[in-house]
């Protein structure tokens, strides 16, 4: 079955052209996006994703493409037309189409694009069981990482560097030697004192939706939590490390730069939080 995309008001085959050459998203990366998991045919953490979309749009002074109720209808229709039960929905809003000039006029009509694709639940389980290997790289991104901007070239290069080293993710390191986040994930450790730590949600990182949910779940389980930055050395000496993102929810990290984390297997806290997240996702 041909995949169906939603492009600026039209449902159409994914391989059919639909983006104008002078779309500012295409020419300037002038836009934002969201990625929402689909479980059992339903969108996971939908409200939180749309709240963050509103935040990103407001921070960049981009108009909403349509009211939220209408946007939710389109999201469901794209999922339905593609018959996706397990997968992800990608939603992108660019500032709009205009003659190429760095400055932008007010009142541009934003362009909404939406696609979905399947994602294997078996792959998620394999990652949970085996864990991933991480490479550390310098963080070269801009200063407003809290905005989910489509300008992702440093992230792309970081992930590609990791792949070329036969690793699955890159953790980015700031000028002070502290871990910011992954190329496409938030970073966590269980430190030597057994405290669950993740960097605070400032302009330095994207406030991941799974990150937000896991902080609530950790509180419910009475786990000691600290929103305190940690160094690369602390991560390598940690009892556990893991990443989080909407694609696979929890990615246990079993090595960083070839240094084995803990006993080299996914840790109990990461596994318990992954199970709790799965249960929460199915209640949506």
In the chain, CATH 3.20.10.10 sits at 124-282
Which is it for strands 132-138 and 169-173: parallel, antiparallel or unpaired?
parallel
Rg (CA), the chain: 19
* pLDDT one-digit tens code per residue, 186-214: 999 999 999 999 999 999 999 999 999 99
Whether the pTM exceeds 0.85: the reply is: yes
Domain 124-282 is found in CATH 3.20.10.10: yes
Split at pLDDT 50, 70, 90, the class of 282 is confident
The active-site residue out of 148, 236, 265, 279 is 148
Split at pLDDT 50, 70, 90, the class of 2 is confident
| Domain 4-119, CATH | 3.30.470.10
Residue 82 contacts residue 6 (beta carbons within 8 Å): no
DSSP H or E segment with residue 255? strand 249-256
In the chain, CATH 3.30.470.10 sits at 4-119
CA-CA distance, 34 to 148, in Å (whole number)? 7
Split at pLDDT 50, 70, 90, the class of 284 is low
Res 1: pLDDT = 59
- Reply yes or no on whether 148 is catalytic: yes
CA-CA distance, 182 to 244, in Å (whole number)? 9
């Amino acid at each position: 079955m041909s995949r169906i995309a939603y492009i600026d008001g039209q449902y159409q085959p994914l391989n059919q052209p639909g983006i104008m050459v002078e779309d500012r998203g295409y020419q300037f990366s002038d836009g934002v996006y969201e990625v929402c998991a689909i479980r059992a045919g339903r969108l996971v953490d939908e409200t939180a994703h749309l709240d963050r979309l509103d935040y990103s749009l407001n921070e960049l002074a981009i108009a909403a493409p349509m009211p939220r109720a209408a946007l939710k209808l389109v999201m469901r229709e794209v999922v339905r037309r593609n018959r996706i039960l397990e997968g992800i929905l990608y939603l992108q809003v660019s500032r709009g189409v205009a003659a190429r000039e760095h400055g932008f006029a007010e009142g541009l009509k934003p362009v909404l694009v939406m696609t979905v694709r399947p994602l294997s639940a078996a792959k998620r389980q394999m990652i949970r069981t085996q864990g991933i290997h991480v490479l550390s790289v310098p963080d070269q991104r801009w200063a407003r990482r809290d905005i989910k901007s489509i300008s992702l070239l440093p992230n792309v290069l970081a992930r590609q560097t990791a792949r070329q080293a036969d690793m699955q993710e890159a953790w980015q390191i700031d000028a002070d030697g502290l871990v910011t986040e992954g190329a496409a994930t938030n970073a966590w450790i269980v430190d030597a004192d057994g405290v669950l730590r993740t960097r605070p949600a400032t302009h330095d990182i994207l406030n991941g939706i799974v990150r937000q949910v896991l902080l609530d779940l950790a509180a419910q389980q009475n786990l000691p939590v600290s929103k305190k930055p940690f160094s690369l050395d602390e991560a390598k000496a940690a009892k556990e490390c893991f990443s989080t993102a909407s694609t696979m929810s929890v990615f246990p990290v079993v090595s960083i730069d070839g240094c084995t984390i803990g006993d080299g297997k996914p840790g109990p806290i990461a596994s318990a939080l992954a199970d709790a997240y799965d249960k929460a996702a199915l209640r949506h």
